Amino acid sequence: MNNGDNTAIFSTDIGVIALNGSVKIKILDFLKTGCKSFDEIVQHTGKAKSTISVHLNDLKSQNLLEETIDSNDKRKKVYFLRCQYVACSQEPGMKQYNEMLDLIASPEVHSFGCLKCLFHAVQYGFRAHGVNCDPIMRKIGHDVGTSLSRNIVSQEPGDILQEMLNFWEKNDIGSFTILEKDPIKLAVHNFFDCRSIPIKEKTLCSFAQGVFEGVFRAKMGGECVMQMIGKCDDTCDSCFFQMIKL
């Protein structure tokens, strides 16, 4: 998550909220792993209890977290998230966005696939205007993966991956290689033709990451994350993921 130097953006039931306080962001990041007690939050942040109390009250008032009674100790409270990390600010970069717009305006756009270029342009557009949207693209990827899982009949990890690979190649989504099976380690290639598009800033790794998470959580009925262990470089040779079961 954003380290607090920039603005972090969260989605709540009442709308989008932007934060730029490093301590508040650190608290929300800590709660991503589950409910935490007041003392755990104090220890994690290294701040005074009075300071954390003020921050927790602020975050509750913004509907970013809630408190409840600890089921193991009725004398204590625990805190949990009520928000989704969406994006963070970054230094704007117009270069790749303008390159994509030039490509869309050229006769060459048909050779790369007009719809795919438009999809990439959305990614570049957010970044061009100072928004790093990797978190929300991962969440959207997760939702897409959950829906795609309905097209998969297998229940075993290896068979699920083979069905996914067949589906990807049949529908021109991309390809991936199974590097290891325990734990699952993957190399994803040419996702949405990112390798063929001649622009040196790739943006879809987090989306692919979410797709795998959505499929595996839906099919295996358990929590897992696809940890990014290697992001694709400027040539987009591949990005690497490893499954971690929670």
Q: Give 35-44 pLDDT, tens digit per residue.
A: 999 999 999 9
Q: Compute CA distances 245 → 158, 219, 225, whole Å.
A: 15, 14, 7
Distance CA 76, CA 99 (A): 55
136-149 pLDDT tens trace: 999 999 999 999 99
pLDDT of residue 238: 80
Residue 2 has pLDDT above 60, yes or no: no
Whether the CB-CB separation of 59 and 78 falls below 8 Å is answered with: no
Whether the CB-CB separation of 44 and 26 falls below 8 Å is answered with: yes
Whether the CB-CB separation of 166 and 151 falls below 8 Å is answered with: no
Res. 22 pLDDT band, cuts 50 70 90:
confident
The pTM for the full model equals 0.80
Residue 225 has pLDDT above 80, yes or no: yes
Asked if 8-86 and 135-245 have one fold, the answer is no
Q: What is the mean pLDDT of residues 93-107?
A: 91
pLDDT of residue 192: 76
Q: Please tell me which residue, 213 or 200, carries the higher pLDDT value.
A: 213
Distance CA 143, CA 137 (A): 10
Res. 4 pLDDT band, cuts 50 70 90:
very low
Rg of the chain taking only CA atoms, in angstroms: 20
pLDDT of residue 202: 59
pLDDT of residue 195: 66
Instruction: Provide the 3-class DSSP secondary structure of residue 121.
Output: helix
pLDDT of residue 5: 57
Res. 198 pLDDT band, cuts 50 70 90:
confident
**Domain made up of 135-245: CATH architecture:** 2-Layer Sandwich (3.30)
CATH no. for 8-86: 1.10.10.10
> In the chain, what are the domain boundaries?
8-86, 135-245
Distance CA 138, CA 222 (A): 18
Q: Residue 149 has what DSSP assignment?
A: G
pLDDT of residue 205: 84
Reading the block at residue 152, the tokens are 């998969």
Residue 3 has pLDDT above 90, yes or no: no
